[in-house]
A and B are shown apart, each in its own frame.
Chain A
Amino acid sequence: MIPLPWLLVFAAALFCIGLFGVLARKNLVAILMGVELMLNAVNVNLIAFWRYFSAAGEDSTRAWTFVAVVLVAAAAEAAVGLALIISVYRRRKTVVADELNLMKG
């Protein structure tokens, strides 16, 4: 079996790459892609902990429920986020986060 630290370090690396994408990219769609990477890293962690600590136990479906809810949240987030991006593009003709400063004080 794969050692648990490998999985956790892999998930942490994936999460941090996604974090960099969210913080550093200019394009709104690219920021959303970074968020997707981060959510995936969280799911890898959840599945790894399930496999190593409760796969054969009494309440082994608990972790799966958690992962399923994260997946649903990711789908909802992608749908709403992309709708917002398209709406913003229609009004402002831009998808660059820096140029969307209408609410800046």
Chain B
Amino acid sequence: MTALQIIFLFVAAVTLASAVMVVSARRMMHAALWLVLSLAGVAVIFALLDAGFFTVVQVLVYIGAIAILIIFAIMLTRKAMEDVGPQLNRGWWLAALAAVGVFAGLAVVLVSWPGVNASAGAGPDANLIVTFGKDLVDPHKFVMPFEVASVMLLAALIGAIYVSVEHKGGQK
């Protein structure tokens, strides 16, 4: 077992344990902090897979923006849900059954898939980020997904502002 594998097993265990804490923590604020740890673990796994760019993006976008948004939402809606009483709904065992079933199905399919024993080829180019940047604005490559994603972000931004702003004059 190489050092890389030991690091992976450790990080994966931490990530999965904090993910379990996210879905089982009684206090929402604790769940949000566990979510930050889980996202950081995923960032480390991106780094182990030679995708350093996405490690940085993960830290910036998920931990820097989405986690902070979630913490804000928890603080703004704190009075609505006391941190006592059950946090899971009545059919939670059905949900657990569904999750375990999906996991078992995925595991069986993945293990029986013939391509699963592929070994990693050579690592990525050192210039991959440069190529990626050029491809994103290349009309023959990925300029369409890039622009569609930009428009979607803009629409989400405007929609979020419109939805969350308080309308004057009672019910609107």
Contacts and interface: CB of A to CB of B under 8 A. Distances in A.
Contacts, number: 265
B164 to A, nearest CB: 4
Nearest to A89: B77
A3 B69 CA distance: 35
Nearest to B141: A61
A44 B45 contact: yes
A24 B142 contact: no
B157 interface: yes
A12 B107 CA distance: 7
Q: Is the interface of B mostly helix, strand, loop or mixed?
A: helix
A contact face: mostly helix, strand, loop, or mixed? helix
B76 A36 contact: no
A104 to B, nearest CB: 15
A30 B32 CA distance: 8
A12 to B, nearest CB: 4
Interface-centre pick from A4, A80, A82 (highest chain B CB count, 10 A): A82
Interface of B: 2, 4-5, 8-9, 12, 15-16, 19-20, 22-23, 28, 31-32, 35, 38-39, 42, 45-46, 48-51, 53-54, 57, 61-62, 65-66, 69-70, 72-74, 76-77, 80-81, 86-89, 91-92, 94-96, 98-100, 102-103, 106-107, 110-111, 115-125, 128, 131-132, 135-136, 141-142, 145-146, 148-149, 152-153, 155-157, 159-161, 163-164, 166
